[in-house]
């Protein structure tokens, strides 16, 4: 190749420049550089700012000829070229050449080779465009046993840039996980994988209102959303929040639990031995009684509970009076209502 380049370079200086550009990018691709290194090398070759943008993640890399990130607001690009992978445009590369343009032919060739190299980097290191991911990678990203270097590499391979926010969601669903992921995080990086009996969704944004309604039995989902920035801690929070989900509240954000989250830390034996929890267990075989109590505890209002249950408020009042006697709790008192709600929640956690 070098001998051929030498012979061709004697024919025309433009040909020599073109061959040098091609050889330059061939070398970069052999060295398996990442996108920042690719942009940095291109800026040095072009002697102006070079940029790379990936549509899927919104990631933008701009490097100046001195090898540093370009900090000034970008001027209009002097020339651009799309990055194409498998006949799909996945991003754009450009030059920000100030003043009169240089050799347009060489700029076009440089951008063509930069776009090809960027596509190769994305194909090699970037994520598959499907929402479903390798469960081993997802587990590595959220496991408390992973070191930070391994976690960062797993997230990079999944397609999450270091500067992107990350939300972890624990899901039980009859719908495919990729469908749920696409609904709650449209047009942004999102990955999903099954782990044991729980699905995991990693997403840069979570639109809680877009979860399919109805709960698992109705073909929807039950989900818990973690709040922490650290993926491993957020995963723990998401699983805890999932345990608090109910048919009436199928999606729970960990932040919304507040002090209720402490109930998840109560040992099972201690919860079973509690008199109020044991009383809830005794009425569990009566779905109507349990539903009435749950609705009343959720609303704190007799009339609101009656509306949701499609019953007359006097019928609900009679049910609650009987339930209160069974539980040994005065449900008309604030303290009694609090006891019933805590006992009902603790009972659910035991049976999760």
| Alpha carbon separation from 28 to 37, 113, 143 (Å, rounded) | 9, 10, 34
Q: Among all chains, which residue has been given the structure tokens 């091609």? A: 22
Q: Among all chains, which residue has been given the structure tokens 């942004």? A: 188
What confidence tens digit (pLDDT) does each residue in 231-272 have?
999 999 999 999 999 888 999 999 999 999 999 999 999 999
What confidence tens digit (pLDDT) does each residue in 90-121 have?
889 999 988 665 555 688 889 999 999 998 88
**Is residue 160 within 8 Å of 188, Cβ to Cβ?**
no
Rounded Cα distance between 339 and 148, Å, is: 42
**Is residue 212 within 8 Å of 220, Cβ to Cβ?**
yes
Determine the pLDDT at residue 1. 43
User: b/e string for 223-242 if b means 16 or more Cβ within 10 A?
Assistant: bbbbbbebbbbbbbbbbbbb
- Alpha-carbon radius of gyration of the chain: 29
Domains of the chain, start order: 2-125 (3.30.450), 135-264 (no CATH), 268-350 (1.10.10.2840)
What confidence tens digit (pLDDT) does each residue in 286-312 have?
888 889 999 999 888 889 988 988 889
Rounded Cα distance between 71 and 98, Å, is: 15
Task: Please say if the pLDDT value at position 338 is more than 60.
Answer: yes
Rounded Cα distance between 174 and 183, Å, is: 14
**Is residue 290 within 8 Å of 283, Cβ to Cβ?**
yes
State the CB neighbour count (10 A cutoff) for residue 50.
29
How high does pLDDT run on average in the chain?
86
**Is residue 9 within 8 Å of 97, Cβ to Cβ?**
no
**Is residue 153 within 8 Å of 20, Cβ to Cβ?**
no
Task: Please say if the pLDDT value at position 340 is more than 80.
Answer: yes
Helix (H) or strand (E) holding 152: helix 148-158
211 φψ region: left (φ > 0), alpha (ψ -120 to 50), beta (else): beta
Give the 3-state secondary structure of residue 346.
Answer: helix
Rounded Cα distance between 93 and 304, Å, is: 58
What the block records as the tokens of 215 is: 């709960």
Q: How many CA atoms lie within 13 A of 340 on its CB side?
A: 30
pLDDT class of 11 with cuts at 50, 70, 90: very low
Give the pLDDT mean for 142-153.
91
| 62-71, 78-87, 231-240: which is most confident | 231-240
Give the pLDDT mean for 197-201.
93
Task: Please say if the pLDDT value at position 143 is more than 70.
Answer: yes
Rounded Cα distance between 206 and 138, Å, is: 17
**Is residue 110 within 8 Å of 46, Cβ to Cβ?**
yes
Determine the pLDDT at residue 77. 79
Rounded Cα distance between 293 and 352, Å, is: 19
**Is residue 329 within 8 Å of 320, Cβ to Cβ?**
no
**Is residue 169 within 8 Å of 131, Cβ to Cβ?**
no
């Amino acid at each position: 190749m070098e001998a051929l380049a030498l012979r061709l370079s004697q024919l025309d200086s433009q040909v020599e420049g073109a061959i040098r550009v091609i050889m330059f990018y061939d070398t970069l691709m052999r060295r398996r550089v990442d996108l920042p290194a690719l942009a940095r090398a291109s800026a040095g070759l072009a002697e102006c700012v070079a940029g790379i943008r990936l549509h899927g993640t919104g990631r933008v890399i701009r490097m100046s000829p001195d090898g540093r990130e370009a900090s000034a607001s970008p001027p209009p690009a002097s020339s651009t070229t799309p990055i194409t992978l498998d006949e799909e445009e996945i991003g754009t590369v450009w030059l920000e050449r100030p003043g009169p343009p240089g050799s347009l032919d060489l700029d076009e060739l440089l951008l063509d080779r930069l776009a090809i190299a960027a596509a190769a980097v994305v194909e090699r290191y970037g994520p598959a465009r499907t929402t479903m991911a390798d469960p081993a990678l997802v587990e590595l990203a959220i496991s408390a046993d992973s070191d930070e270097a391994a976690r960062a590499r797993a997230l990079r391979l999944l397609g999450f840039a270091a500067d992107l926010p990350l939300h972890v969601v624990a899901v039980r669903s009859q719908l495919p996980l990729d469908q749920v992921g696409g609904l709650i995080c449209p047009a942004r990086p999102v990955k999903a994988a099954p782990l044991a009996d729980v699905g995991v969704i990693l997403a840069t944004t979570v639109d809680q209102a877009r979860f399919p309604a109805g709960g698992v039995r109705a073909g929807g989902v039950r989900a818990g959303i973690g709040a922490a920035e650290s993926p491993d801690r957020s995963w723990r929070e998401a699983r805890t929040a999932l345990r608090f989900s109910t048919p009436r509240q199928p999606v729970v954000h960990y932040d919304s639990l507040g002090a209720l989250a402490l109930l998840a830390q109560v040992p099972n034996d201690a919860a079973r031995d509690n008199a109020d929890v044991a009383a809830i267990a005794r009425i569990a075989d009566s779905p109507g009684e349990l539903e009435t109590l749950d609705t009343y505890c959720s609303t704190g209002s007799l009339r609101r509970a009656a509306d949701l249950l499609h019953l007359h408020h006097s019928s609900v009042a009679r049910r609650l009076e009987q339930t209160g006697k069974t539980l040994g709790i005065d449900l008309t008192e604030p303290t009694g209502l609090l006891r019933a709600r805590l006992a009902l929640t603790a009972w659910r956690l035991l049976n999760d």
